[in-house]
């Protein structure tokens, strides 16, 4: 598939326009769409069976742009990423409960000890208020986007705007009002067996454990939230492989290393991935993007929106392609503020 060329209009709020060369043909997905008498009958998200309509896909892309601006301007990528992780990280593959379903918006769940401080991120996305900062809330602008989709999309954008990899986002999550019991998220004071117990319960692998741990390249611990203080890396607003580099270098004054971080060095399988990612940032980015996508889709439940659309002729086909091709661009903001996770 040809790589989209992105053009920006003068305004910051301008739409992103993916343009393909005249010699380009539609990618195989669109060639395989059912077409009868110039009409596309149905379509779904590219990877699996999630059915969302074109209007919802448009709304997702608008929300993506608003999230990009908000996260870049407020330097809140770390806490937004933590929100996405914690909404998803409660999944239990055996009981098919928990997961990225938006339930963390409910007081019963965000008041769990492991979620201390995340009300800040929830309020920022939903009410537009963060301490003394006020912005137009993303959820208010895009009320049809589910909380579950909003939180996971925000996590994807948080990685991208800080220089991390592009992560494929599949929309269509359905909100839940059922909160999981407390205790499903990782405990930073535990070790190897605990990490495997938590991540295996979700259906994730050793590689996922180490790759996702690299997300701690963003942010810092806060004593009042986690009982730990300090950043994991020297530049906690830049997504790179420095988490692994610092981990292998040992104790560094001012940098945080939790029991769960050190556990990655104690286990030979974990350590092999740590050394690999410290040496090869491209490999880390590739594996992180895959693991993040898996985490964001655990127990995926569709919204149940209608999947049937009618688009006339070649114009309709072009529009379908435009809606379904994810547009990813990031704008790294180097300013430093203390909105770390």
Q: Is 86 a catalytic residue?
A: yes
Which residues are within 8 A (CB) of 145 and not within 5 positions of it... i.e. 6 or more apart? 56, 59, 60, 63, 139, 153
Nearest residue to 230 (alpha-carbon basis) of 72, 77, 78: 78
Burial of 31 (0-12, 13-18, 19+ CB in 10 A): exposed
Is the CB of residue 90 less than 8 Å from the CB of residue 184?
yes
Task: State which H helix or E strand residue 35 sits in.
Answer: strand 35-36
Q: Cα separation of 32 and 28, whole Å?
A: 6
Token duo for residue 232? 């994991």
Token duo for residue 132? 């003394």
CA angle 159, 54, 315 (to 5 degrees): 115
Work out whether strand 129-130 and strand 39-42 pair parallel, antiparallel, or are unpaired.
unpaired
Q: Cα separation of 41 and 131, whole Å?
A: 48
Catalytic residue among 86, 142, 292, 328: 86
In sequence order, which ranges of 237-300 are alpha helices (DSSP H)? 242-249, 259-266, 268-279, 281-296
Q: How far apart are the first and last CA of the chain?
A: 37
Residues marked active site are found at 86
């Amino acid at each position: 598939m040809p790589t989209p060329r992105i053009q920006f209009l003068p305004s910051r709020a301008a739409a992103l326009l993916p343009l393909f060369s005249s010699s380009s043909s539609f990618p195989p997905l669109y060639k395989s769409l059912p077409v009868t008498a110039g009409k596309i009958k149905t379509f779904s998200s590219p990877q699996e069976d999630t059915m969302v309509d074109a209007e919802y896909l448009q709304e997702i892309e608008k929300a993506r742009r608003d999230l990009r601006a908000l996260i870049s301007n407020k330097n809140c990528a770390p806490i937004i990423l933590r929100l996405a992780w914690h909404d998803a990280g409660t999944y239990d593959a055996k009981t098919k409960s928990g997961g990225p379903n938006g339930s963390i918006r409910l007081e019963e769940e965000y008041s769990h000890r492991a979620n201390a401080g995340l009300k800040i991120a929830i309020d920022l996305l939903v009410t537009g208020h963060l301490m003394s900062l006020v912005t137009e809330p993303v959820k208010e602008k895009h009320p049809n986007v589910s909380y579950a989709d909003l939180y996971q999309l925000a996590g994807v954008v948080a990685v991208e705007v800080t220089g991390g990899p592009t992560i494929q986002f599949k929309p269509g999550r359905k909100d839940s009002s059922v909160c999981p019991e407390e205790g499903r998220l990782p405990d930073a004071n535990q070790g190897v067996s605990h990490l495997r117990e938590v991540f295996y319960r979700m259906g994730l692998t050793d590689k996922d454990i180490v790759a996702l741990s690299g997300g701690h390249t963003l942010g810092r611990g806060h004593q009042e939230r986690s009982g730990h203080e300090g950043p994991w890396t020297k530049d906690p607003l830049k997504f790179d492989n420095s988490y692994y580099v610092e981990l292998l270098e040992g104790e560094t004054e001012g940098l945080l290393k939790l029991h769960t971080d050190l556990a990655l060095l104690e286990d030979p399988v974990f350590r092999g991935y740590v050394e690999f990612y410290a040496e090869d940032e491209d490999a880390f980015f590739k594996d992180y993007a895959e693991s993040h996508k898996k985490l964001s889709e655990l127990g995926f439940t569709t919204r149940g929106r209608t999947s049937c659309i009618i688009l006339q002729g070649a114009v309709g086909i072009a529009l379908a392609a435009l809606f379904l091709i994810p547009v990813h661009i990031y704008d790294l903001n180097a300013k430093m503020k203390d909105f770390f996770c």
